[in-house]
Structure 1
Amino acid sequence: MDVIKMFSKELEQEAQTTRKMLALVPNDKYDWQPHPKSMTIKRLATHIAELPSWVTMALTTDELDFANNPYQPVNINNTDELLAYFEQSLADGKASLAQATEEPLEQPWTLRNGDEIYSTTSKAEVIRMAFSQIIHHRAQLGVYLRLLNIPIPGSYGPSADEMNF
């Protein structure tokens, strides 16, 4: 199977569910967090929205060094901006996959903070990790929404809200 086609298909499939979840973030709850150690819903949703652009980063760079590139999330102020940012990140990731070949997927890519190396994996593994992060953080967002008593959509089938449990 063509790995690029598989990644493209998966990115589009996950985007459908991600879009539905991000659309539910209430504009008046952007500073809300379920626990002091948890991210705010704004930070969590913004991170989910940016993750498709990690496909481009994996394909066009050899590393991310937080010492040289401290994390600066985009300042999102409402759900319309959040969805627009997600669509921009998604278009970026999809365009990079459309132009990619499989050869560079085996090349190493490193995540580090200066001399501290968190991981060195193939570029293909970084893309898979980005998809896993989307799914992981989207599930966190589902818990946040549930705690705010907002019905959530299903991801891989109907949710309890859709089944009227």
Structure 2
Amino acid sequence: MTIIENLLNEIEQEAQITRKFLKIVPQDKFDWRPHPKSMNLQQLTTHIAELPAWITMTVTTDGLDFATTPYEPSKIDNVTDLLEFFEQSYADGRAHLQNFSEADLEKRWLLRHGEQILVDRNKYETLRMCIAQIIHHRAQLGVFLRLLNIPIPGSYGPSADEMGK
């Protein structure tokens, strides 16, 4: 199996888990946040839904400069649109990755803010970072849902809620 095929399998597995989490987000709690420094539920879930599109950005660009391209998150105000946004981001990221050349995996990709370099990695490492970001923020979502007393779906096996604990 090629590296690209392995990455495609991994993003498909993570997409299946992510869908389970996004489907149970209570949109009446979109403004809720567990701490003043935390994103609110709407911001967090929108970010999770957009992250597969960062795969597209990684394979189609040599980087991102927040000084010239400020981050502007999409405004999603219901779970139906959130799931649709995720599916579009996922389909776009997957399609671009399928057509990506393994020879280009070693090319550099820079995340910067003007002169300040935030990330300097090759495209393979950046793709793995995109996948890790999905997992990281989905875990945050799990904590948010737990604090809202919403049963958590399993990620890599059954959750305590699914086990009846």
Q: TM-score range by the shorter chain?
A: over 0.9
Q: Counterpart of 1:68?
A: 68
Question: Shift in Å at residue 61 of structure 1?
Answer: 0.3
1:136 and 1:157 map into 2 onto residues whose CA distance is 17
Letter in 2 for 1:95: A
1:100 shift after superposition: 1.0
> How far apart are 1:75 and its partner, in Å?
0.5
Secondary structure of 2:161 counterpart? helix
- CA distance in 2 between counterparts of 1:141 and 1:82 reads 14
* Structure 1 residue 115, shift from structure 2 partner: 0.5
Displaced runs of 4 or more, over 4 A: none
Output the amino acid matched with 2:119: S
Q: Which residue of 2 aligns with 1:36?
A: 36
Distance 2:145 2:119 in 1: 32
Write out per-residue CA displacement over residues 77-110 of structure 1, whole angstroms, 9 at most, x where no aligned residue: 0000100000000000110011111011100000
Q: What number of residue pairs does the alignment pair up?
A: 165
1:135 aligns with 2:131: no
- For 1:125 and 1:153, locate their aligned partners in 2 and report how far apart those are by CA, in whole Å: 29
| Residue 26 (structure 1) aligns with | 26
Whole-Å separation in 2 of the counterparts to 1:153 and 1:119: 32
**Cα RMSD (Å):** 0.6
1:151 alignment counterpart: 151
Unaligned runs of 5+ in 1: none
**Code of the aligned partner of 2:3:** V
Query: Normalising by structure 1, what TM-score?
Result: 0.99
SS in 2 for 1:158: coil
Instruction: Point out where structure 2 has 5 or more consecutive residues left out of the alignment.
Output: none
Give the whole-Å Cα distance in 2 for the aligned partners of 1:87 and 1:132.
Answer: 18
| Structure 2 counterpart of 1:96 | 96
Whole-angstrom CA distance in 2 between matches of 1:64 and 1:41: 26
Alignment TM-score, normalising by the size of structure 2: 0.99
d(CA) in 2 for partners of 1:144 and 1:106? 37
Aligned to 2:48: 48
Residue 27 of structure 1, CA deviation: 1.3
Match of 1:162, SS state, is: coil
1:84 matched residue in structure 2: 84
- Distance of 1:128 and 1:87 partners within structure 2: 19
* 1:120-163 Cα shifts (integer Å, max 9, x gaps): 10011110000000000000000000000100100000000000
* Residues 8-62 of structure 1 deviation map (CA, whole Å, 9 limit, x = unaligned): 0000000000000011111101110001111001000000000101111010000
